[in-house]
Amino acid sequence: MRRVTLLAALAATLPTIAMAASSSAVPVEGMPQLAFGHPEQGRLLIGQVVWLLLIFAALYFLMAKIALPRVGAVIENRHARIAADLEAAQAAKAEADGAMAAHRAATEAARGEARAAVASAVQAAQADSDAKAAALNARLNAQIAEAEARIEAARASAMGAIRGVATDTAEALVAKLVGRADRAAIDTAVGAALTAQGRA
Amino acid sequence: MAAEGKTIDALSQFELSPVLGIFGNAVSFSQSNLFMVIAVAIAYFLMKVTADRGELVPGRLQALGEASYGFIAGMVRDQVGDEGKKYFPFVFSIFMFVLLGNLLGMLPYAFTFTSHIMVTLTLAIVVFVVVTGVALAIHGMHFFTYFFPEGAPKWLAPIIIPVEIISYFSRVVSLSVRLFANMVAGHVMLKVFATFVVLLGGLGAVGPFVAAMPLAVNVVLVGFEFLVAFLQAYVFAILTSIYLHDAVHLH
């Protein structure tokens, strides 16, 4: 609102200034910029230059001593701030990179450890199962050997019984047929027959 | 005022008249000088606001002030180099003064002080004196070798030296006349076509339709004049920078 009022005031002032421009009593011949001979314009043209020098000197003073250093400081400030922020970001990135590398190394170490643990567990289980299998085998072998020995003994005793039975049967048969029997001769004959058959 | 007696009066807009009543009259303070003061006030206000806000993320006005600062600072750095830093306020003052003079002249009823050859010539002489002073301060008597390029054949000296001296002094003329002629031509054109609008507009029933043509031309001209206002201020500033480069480095 204040700005609008200011602009309105300026707009109202400008025509007043412009209207004053046409108040020359003596008409100006040719270009007013070169009307040095004109009583009014000539004086104003020189005055314009003098005032120009003063006003421009004021502008230079205001700019060089007051305004521009401050604006330069504002811009410098921003550059410094941006540079500092960039630096901080760079540092943070380096830190993050370091943390990432540490994390990766830790992961790698943990993975190796786990692998070793798994390998040793597998090895232990293998050894355990091997030992158990060996013990079982030994026991089974012992049982087998014992059973075989028992079978052998049973067979040997069975074979011995066959001779007695055969001798008794032969003696009974001979006694029935002949009326008498020579036990010693029959026993010898049975032994010979069994030997011939490979069963003695 | 524009079309008295059916003649086109395009030059009376450049007439000076005293302002501020009897005091202004006594010290020959014309409306031209008043607009110079307004230009200085605007330039100072803009840079002061820019510095006062001083925010990290600038607003519109602060961005404008910083952009003009950066524009001229970059120009001086590119043209003169790092030694040119101490001449930056001078180039900046010249640029802002000419630019605001040109732009204020685009306001209706305003006076364009850059349309006065006495003003542009004075500015050009200020630039010339500053540049020559800088050159003499840095190089002393060695400065005068500027007028005879190294390696040129000795027997050409009678030709080269006068030519170099004339071209050195003609800087003042080219600098001042370029700005003056551009501003005068633009404002005369605007005034002439504006007068056409009034003259043709009075031609009975078809008048308004015919008058639309010079009006359209004036619309285009106003846009063009804004371009010229920036361009001439830029040219004035960059030529000043180039002359300063010559003064600091001698070729």
Tell me the DSSP string of A42-62: HHHHHHHHHHHHHHHHHHHHI
Residues 171-230 of B with CB under 8 A from A: 180, 184
Residue A80 covered by a domain: no
**What is the reported pLDDT for A1?**
59
**What is the reported pLDDT for B28?**
83
Please answer yes or no on whether A45 and B16 come within 8 Å at the CB atom. yes
Q: What are the residues whose beta carbons fall under 8 Å from the beta carbon of B100, sequence distance 6 or more? A: B38, B39, B42, B43
B23 touches chain A (CB under 8 A): no
A62 touches chain B (CB under 8 A): yes
**Residues spanned by the domain of A179:** 153-197
Domain count, chain A: 1
Residue in the structure block whose two tokens are 């205001």? A62
Residue A168 covered by a domain: yes
Distance from CA of B114 to the nearest CA of A (A): 11
The encoded tokens of residue A19 equal 């209207």
Please answer yes or no on whether A71 and B111 come within 8 Å at the CB atom. no
Please answer yes or no on whether A21 and B33 come within 8 Å at the CB atom. no
Neighbours of B17 (CB within 10 A): 21
Residue A118 covered by a domain: no
Distance from CA of B29 to the nearest CA of A (A): 6
Q: Which of A22, A45, A51 sits opposite B29 (nearest CB)?
A: A51
Read off φ and ψ for residue B15, nearest 5 degrees: -65, 145
The DSSP code sequence of chain A is: -HHHHHHHHHHHHHHHHHHHHT--SSPPPS-GGG-TTSHHHHHHHHHHHHHHHHHHHHHHHIIIIIIHHHHHHHHHHHHHHHHHHHHHHHHHHHHHHHHHHHHHHHHHHHHHHHHHHHHHHHHHHHHHHHHHHHHHHHHHHHHHHHHHHHHHHHHHHHHHHHHHHHHHHHHHHHHHHHS---HHHHHHHHHHHHHHHT--
CA separation for the pair B137, B129 (Å, rounded): 12
Candidates B62, B72, B93, B61; CA nearest to A78 is B62
The DSSP code sequence of B111-166 is: --GGG-HHHHHHHHHHHHHHHHHHHHHHHGGGGGGGGS-TTS-GGGHHHHHHHHHH
Please answer yes or no on whether B16 and A41 come within 8 Å at the CB atom. yes
B127 touches chain A (CB under 8 A): no
A176 touches chain B (CB under 8 A): no
Task: Kindly report the average pLDDT of chain B as a whole number.
Answer: 87
Provide the CA A162 distance to its chain's centre, in angstroms.
84
Residue A10 covered by a domain: no
CB A192 within 8 A of CB A198: no
Picking from B109, B121, B127, B188 by the largest number of A CB atoms within 10 A of its own CB, the best residue to mutate is B109
Neighbours of A175 (CB within 10 A): 13
CA separation for the pair B132, B145 (Å, rounded): 13
Q: Which of A32, A34, A47 sits opposite B28 (nearest CB)?
A: A47
DSSP at B30: B
Candidates A100, A10, A188; CA nearest to B107 is A10
Candidates B28, B18, B6, B24; CA nearest to B200 is B6
Task: Kindly report the average pLDDT of chain A as a whole number.
Answer: 85
pLDDT of B118 strictly over 50:
yes
**What is the reported pLDDT for B9?**
78
A25 touches chain B (CB under 8 A): no
Please answer yes or no on whether B110 and A14 come within 8 Å at the CB atom. yes
Q: pLDDT higher for B245 or B203?
A: B245
Give me the mean pLDDT over the A103-130 stretch.
Answer: 96
User: How distant, in Å, are the alpha carbons of A115, A130, A136 from that of A123?
Assistant: 12, 10, 20
pLDDT confidence tier of residue B250, bands split at 50, 70 and 90: confident
CA-based Rg of chain A, rounded to a whole angstrom? 68
A14 touches chain B (CB under 8 A): yes
Q: What are the residues whose beta carbons fall under 8 Å from the beta carbon of B5, sequence distance 6 or more? A: none
In chain B, which residues have their Cβ closer than 8 Å to the Cβ of A73?
Answer: 51, 54
B31 touches chain A (CB under 8 A): yes
Residue A37 covered by a domain: no
A70 touches chain B (CB under 8 A): yes
Please answer yes or no on whether A31 and B14 come within 8 Å at the CB atom. yes
**What is the reported pLDDT for A13?**
65
Please answer yes or no on whether A51 and B13 come within 8 Å at the CB atom. no
- Quote the percentage of chain B above a pLDDT of 70: 97
Q: What are the residues whose beta carbons fall under 8 Å from the beta carbon of B43, sequence distance 6 or more? A: A59, A62, A63, A67, B93, B96, B97, B100
Say how many residues make up chain B.
Answer: 251
Residue A35 covered by a domain: no
Work out how many CB contacts closer than 8 A connect A with B: 171
Could you tell me which chain B residue has the CA closest to the CA of A73? B51
pLDDT tens for residues B130-184? 999 999 988 888 888 788 777 777 787 788 888 888 988 999 999 999 999 999 9
Least trusted range by pLDDT, from A8-12, B29-33, B184-188, B230-234: A8-12
B17 touches chain A (CB under 8 A): yes
CB A53 within 8 A of CB B47: no
DSSP at B5: G
Could you tell me which chain B residue has the CA closest to the CA of A58? B40
The encoded tokens of residue A94 equal 């380096």
CA separation for the pair A42, B18 (Å, rounded): 12
B236 touches chain A (CB under 8 A): no
Least trusted range by pLDDT, from A89-98, B115-124, B160-169: B160-169
Residue in the structure block whose two tokens are 């030296």? B161
Please answer yes or no on whether A44 and B65 come within 8 Å at the CB atom. no
pLDDT confidence tier of residue B2, bands split at 50, 70 and 90: very low
Residue A146 covered by a domain: no
Helix (H, G, I), strand (E, B) or coil at B18: strand
Picking from A19, A41, A51 by the largest number of B CB atoms within 10 A of its own CB, the best residue to mutate is A51
Residue A179 covered by a domain: yes
Q: pLDDT higher for B16 or B100?
A: B100
Please answer yes or no on whether B111 and A50 come within 8 Å at the CB atom. no
